[in-house]
Amino acid sequence: MTDEKIIELFFARDEAALEQTAKKYENYCFTIANNILSNRQDSEECVNDTYLAAWQSIPPERPKQLSSYLGKIVRNFALMRQRKDRAAKRGGNFSEISAELLALIPDGTDLAEEYDARRIGFIIDTFLRSIGKIDRIIFVRRYWYGDNIADICRNFGLGESRVKVSLHRTREKLAQTLKKEGVSL
């Protein structure tokens, strides 16, 4: 079923929207959550929370790309769960990935930082459109989806050093772009 038809089911408040969403996007959402949490049960809960959030937000929202909309929701739930778990036991798999970028991006805890976070998001989007396709894919797979380097290498037929160098250079270029745009690091 197409995304447009699934969204129409949401607007009609037809519960088949949830069934079709799960059928089409369950593996996608689970992978995002599990890359962050590394825990099957917590990841499944995040996926279920994602379906509920989609049900509650569509309508009035009408996502242009359902996969991205769901991906953002499940990622946010997984990150919230990870923060909660980390606060309880200090640790977590995804934190090593996040730490590579934390030095570049403020956490957005007040209104001014929220504005900065949105501005930084726009700068990063623009930056990612300006770099080569492979470097962009590697960067997004690592920092958005939380894929580990071995999976990126296997999925794209690249060597580990190629992926690590690409990530390092892309982070450096991003830092330069952020500085140039007046974002204090």
What are the pLDDT tens digits along the chain (185 aa)? Answer: 999 999 999 999 999 999 999 999 999 999 999 998 989 999 999 999 999 999 999 999 999 999 999 999 999 899 888 888 766 554 445 555 555 555 455 544 455 555 666 788 888 889 999 999 999 999 999 988 888 899 999 999 999 999 999 999 999 999 999 889 887 76
Predicted confidence at residue 108, as pLDDT, reads 47
Q: Which fold has domain 3-89?
A: Rna Polymerase Sigma Factor; Chain: A (1.10.1740)
Check residue 183 and give its pLDDT.
78
Question: Which pLDDT does position 133 carry in this prediction?
Answer: 94
CA 93-96-101 angle, 5° bins: 135
Q: Where in the chain is the domain with CATH 1.10.10.10?
A: 96-180
pLDDT score recorded for residue 115? 64
What pLDDT does residue 25 have? 96
User: What is d(CA 49, CA 59) in angstroms, rounded to the nearest whole number?
Assistant: 17
96-180 folds as Arc Repressor Mutant, subunit A (1.10.10)
Structure tokens at 120: 């930084």
E-only strand ranges, the chain: none
DSSP conformation class of 158: -
Q: What is the pTM of this model?
A: 0.66
In the chain, which segments carry CATH 1.10.1740.10? 3-89
Given this model, what pLDDT does residue 91 score? Answer: 47
C-beta separation of 33 from 46 below 8 A: yes
